[in-house]
Amino acid sequence: MKSVVGVAVAAIVIALGAVPAAAKQDPARLGCTQVQAGKCTAWAELTNQQARRVRMNDVFGPDYPYYLKQTDLPADTVREYGLDLRSRYIVTSNGFIFVIDPDGFEVTRVIAPESSTER
C-alpha cells in the first residue's frame, strides 16, 4: 500500500512540476518582439505565417495589446460565428479571428479566413 501511495505522490509532484505546453511556446510565434525577465514587453501584429501557427490553448497573456471586444467587431461577423460578449478577440489583417478566454487568455477557438471554417 505504501508503494502505491508513494508512486501516486511522485506522479502528482511530477505533474505539478511540469510546465504546460503553452508556457513552453516560442513567444515570437505569437507576435512578441521583445522579452524581458521572461515576459513579453513588446508586440507586433501577427504575420500571416504566425497566424497560421496559432492553435487552441495558445496563451497570449493579459498584456497583449490587440484584444478586441465583441462590440468592436462587425455585427454580421458576430452573428455568423456566434461570438459572445465575455470573450476577447484577436482579428488579423489577413482574416483570422482568434477567440480568447478573458480569464486565462488562451485561444479557445480559431476561425480561419480561407474557408470561414473553424479549426
Number of domains forming the structure of the chain: 1
Task: Print the domain residue range for 66.
Answer: 2-111
Tell me if 118 is assigned to some domain: no
Q: 59-109: per-residue pLDDT in tens?
A: 988 888 999 999 999 999 999 999 999 999 999 988 999 999 999 999 999
Distance of alpha carbon 72 from alpha carbon 19, whole angstroms: 34
Q: 36-71: per-residue pLDDT in tens?
A: 888 888 888 888 888 999 999 999 888 889 999 999
Question: What pTM does this model have?
Answer: 0.70
Tell me if 116 is assigned to some domain: no
Question: Residue 72 class from Cβ within 10 Å (0-12 exposed, 13-18 middle, 19+ buried)?
Answer: exposed
